[in-house]
Amino acid sequence: MIEQAAGCRIKVEALGEAYQALAEQWAERLGLPMDEPDAEFALQLSAQGLQLQQLGPDAPGPVRVDFVEGGAAHRRLFGGGTGQMIAKAVGIQQGVRPRVLDATAGLGKDAFVLASLGCEMSLIERQPLIGALLEDGLARGLDDFEVAPIVSRMHLLKGNSIEVMRHWEGEPPQVIYLDPMFPHREKTALVKKEMRLFRPLVGDDNDAPALLEAALALASHRVVVKRPRKAPCIAGPKPSHALDGKSSRYDIYPKKALKP
């Protein structure tokens, strides 16, 4: 059952008879109704896969995870490779491709970039609807010849990020990457349709300090936190330094050096 979406009415629907059985499977998995006349959101099944659509006259278009076309493909081909700031933040260098846990995976965009550069990625997304979109996108990515080797380095974990990190079994990730949902200001609230869509479902990550604490306890080499460029650091230990971009920055919490 989707606890994080309390207060939001969500239904599952098939956009075509061929997708009815799959829609019913998702409805059962997520504990959502197929028939909800007052629904505010619809999790839809179509030829393009799974997508989340806000309902209503001013709703933005649907959101789905697509690692094959669109923005992910453009960034994979033309994004700047290891020169990208996120690559520098997690410690990618010649002979070094750290094992990374993205504990706030969202739609998997940053994790896909790091996987495309050769990192073995673990992903956690605690909001079940977003996790479902991510699961579907990863499955479709495996069907594409060029994208499959990248997606095969992305491993989706289920559960609350803090609890998963606190009860981690096996070798810990070398780097943990966090991009918590940041409380918005009105002037930036409508920048991305994903944010418009997800904020009613997810809210802000008010437990970001606990997220950072769990990450620092688990990561063997460093923790990286992505923040809006002018936002304060997460409450708790201070980062040793930051990499600043035009709209965002990466706060770095080192534990030990990454070496080839």
Furthest CA-CA distance within the chain? 57
119, pLDDT greater than 50 = yes
pLDDT tens for 201-223 read 665 567 899 999 999 999 999 99
Q: Do 45 and 23 meet the contact criterion of CB atoms below 8 Å apart?
A: yes
C-alpha distances out from residue 231 to 166, 184, 185, Å: 27, 10, 11
pTM: 0.90
Q: Please report which confidence band the pLDDT of residue 77 belongs to, taking 50, 70 and 90 as the band edges.
A: low
- Domains annotated for the chain, with CATH where assigned, are 10-54 (3.40.1630), 70-254 (3.40.50.150)
225, two tokens: 């936190």
CA angle 93, 255, 92 (to 5 degrees): 10
Residue 205 is assigned to a ligand binding site: no
CA angle 194, 145, 125 (to 5 degrees): 30
Q: What percent of the chain has pLDDT over 90?
A: 72
Distance CA 202, CA 208 (A): 13
User: With helix as H, strand as E and coil as C, how does the chain read?
Assistant: CCCCCCCCCEEEEECCHHHHHHHHHHHHHHCCCCCCCCCCEEEEEECCEEEEEECCCCCCCCECCCCCCCHHHHHHHHCCHHHCHHHHHHCCECCECCCEEECCCCCCHHHHHHHHCCCCEEEECCCHHHHHHHHHHHHHHCCCCCCHHHHCCEEEECCCHHHHHHCCCCCCCCEEEECCCCCCCHHHCCCCHHHHHHHHHHCCCCCHHHHHHHHHHHCCCEEEEEEECCCCCCCCCCCCEEEECCCEEEEEEECCCCCC
Residue 125 is assigned to a ligand binding site: yes
R_g of the chain computed on alpha carbons:
18
Q: Parallel, antiparallel, or unpaired for β 41-46 and 49-54?
A: antiparallel
Distance CA 238, CA 16 (A): 52
Contacts of 139 (CB under 8 A, 6+ apart): none
pLDDT tens for 150-167 read 999 999 998 999 999 999
Return the pLDDT at 56. 87
Return the pLDDT at 182. 66
Residue 76 is assigned to a ligand binding site: no
pLDDT tens for 120-153 read 999 999 889 999 999 999 999 999 999 999 999 9
